[in-house]
Amino acid sequence: MNDRQRFVATMHYRPRDRSPLCDFSFWDETLEAWYRQGLPREVTRYNTDEFFGMDPLFRCVLDVGSSALVSLDPGYRLFDGVVVGLMPPFEEVVIHQRDDGQVVQQPDGVRVFKKKWAVSIPLHESHLLVDRASWRKHYAPRLDPDDRRRYPGNWDDCVRLWRDPDRPLPLFLPGGSFYGWIRNWMGLEAVSLAVYDDPAWFEEMVTTVADCVIGVLSRVLQTGGEFDGCGMWEDMCYSAGPLLSPEHFKRYLVPHYRRLADLLHGHGVDVIWVDCDGKIDELVPLWLDAGINCMFPVEVGTWGGDPVRFRRRFGRQLLMMGGFDKKILARDKHAIEAEVYRLAPLVEEGGYIGFCDHRVPPDVPLENYLHYLRAVRHVWGHDCNLKPMAQFELVPRAGET
């Protein structure tokens, strides 16, 4: 089977040669640490699939919120992509330098402080989106689905790729973000107050974003392209539960999720995932009711998010990806093997693709990660039709022999 066939079979509980074997990428700091442990310098976050022998599951995607159709497979051309987010993006500029970092305006208009040696998300400094006037001046005009800059300049070439029934890689649509983007644009406190102080304005923002995403995808889907899934990003939960109450979630978000799901289902796209961090337990049934049927990448966290438990609770209607606790990768080889075997029955059942819950962090020793790869290739992949792993020599870490 090729990678596309294997993904489709897995997410529809059909027979396949093995489960897809992939990862959610790595922190830049992780690779820097691994270089000191023997990883060749030519390995970057953009070619780890080939080096580690992983399946390039997310190697040809219409990138959420950006202008790139990411394709690193040599059999594919690099396309301009489809943009469902802000167009044009804000200019990315350095506002001012500090001894310990710099304040930068991001493409979403948010000004953040980036520390020189940080290994975390940059801190928000200020926001352009503060009220209705700034919304209508800076953001609403950038959410016009008819803006030609949202679509590839080589449209005909893209359509041929989208329609190709024999392409070896899956192709995924960007579903945008109906809450997470707005939360970023104005900050968590401000968006939380807006829900109560000016709910009509909050609803206007959500509707405008949804109209843009659905408008763009409608044009793409009308080409007759065959897409294998659609991915959203929300990040609307924390360690104790959702940032938006389930009541408000049902009132403001669920109707637009249903609009998106109805559009996708009408064109044969029936795998729709949402990337949401935190404790998602209260929102999963609401997403399912709205037609969003896959959780990605099932963050374990301190709250014990567990794909096995989710499968018991929601059954086969809930598809999942991720869910291998990244903290275990930093422990010992026995713990790694135990988790690989614990998740094995779920991998075998289907509807689930296991990998690290978010990018592999820098406290994971390279030796541990290689042990994890060997374990999943044998246990989840049955040593069947695997991509080749590069051979190289590990270097003892400081203080070790």
Residue 329 to residue 373: CA distance in whole angstroms? 11
Burial classification of residue 22, based on how many CB atoms lie within 10 Å of its CB (0-12 exposed, 13-18 middle, 19 or more buried): buried
Q: Find, among 225, 78, 63, the residue nearest to 150 by Cα.
A: 63
In sequence order, what DSSP letters do the residues of 239-260 get, joined into one string? TTEESS-HHHIIIIIHHHHHHH
Residue 259 to residue 49: CA distance in whole angstroms? 35
Per-residue pLDDT of the chain (401 residues; tens, 9 = 90+): 999 999 999 999 999 999 999 998 899 899 999 999 999 999 998 889 999 999 988 765 544 333 333 443 433 333 447 899 999 999 999 999 988 889 999 999 999 998 877 656 788 999 999 999 999 999 999 999 999 999 988 888 888 889 999 988 888 998 999 999 999 999 999 999 999 999 999 999 999 999 999 999 999 999 999 999 999 999 999 999 999 999 999 999 999 999 999 999 999 999 999 999 999 999 999 999 999 999 999 999 999 999 999 999 999 999 999 999 999 999 999 999 999 999 999 999 999 999 999 899 999 999 999 999 999 999 999 999 999 999 998 987 654 44
The SS3 assignment for 123 reads: strand
Residue 60: per-residue pLDDT: 54
List alpha helices for 154-198, DSSP H.
155-163, 180-186, 188-197
Phi, psi (degrees; rounded to nearest 5) at 70: -75, 115
How many other CB atoms are there within 10 angstroms of residue 117's CB atom? 7
Q: Which residue has the tokens 């389930």?
A: 246
Report whether 170 contacts 57 (CB < 8 A). yes
The SS3 assignment for 232 reads: strand
CB neighbour list of residue 200: distance below 8 Å, 6 or more residues apart: none
The SS3 assignment for 27 reads: coil
Instruction: To the nearest 10°, report the CA torsion of 10, 14, 15, 17.
Output: -20
Task: Report which DSSP code applies to 71.
Answer: E
Is it true that the peptide bond before 297 is cis, omega within 30 degrees of 0? yes
Q: H/E element holding 146?
A: none
Report whether 152 contacts 82 (CB < 8 A). yes
How many other CB atoms are there within 10 angstroms of residue 28's CB atom? 12
Q: Cα–Cα distances in Å, from 114 out to 80, 119, 130, 190, 359?
A: 28, 10, 22, 22, 19
Angle, CA 132 vertex, CA 127 and CA 133 arms, to 5°: 80
Residue 301 to residue 85: CA distance in whole angstroms? 29
Report whether 85 contacts 181 (CB < 8 A). yes
Phi, psi (degrees; rounded to nearest 5) at 274: -125, 130
CB neighbour list of residue 250: distance below 8 Å, 6 or more residues apart: 286
Q: Find, among 61, 40, 100, the residue nearest to 233 by Cα.
A: 61
Residue 257 to residue 106: CA distance in whole angstroms? 27
Q: How many CA atoms lie within 13 A of 314 on its CB side?
A: 25
Residue 116: per-residue pLDDT: 77
Q: Which residue has the tokens 């008819």?
A: 146
| Structure tokens, 355 | 């990998």
| CA pseudo-torsion sign 211, 289, 281, 336 | negative
Residue 352 to residue 343: CA distance in whole angstroms? 10
The SS3 assignment for 183 reads: helix
Residue 42: per-residue pLDDT: 95
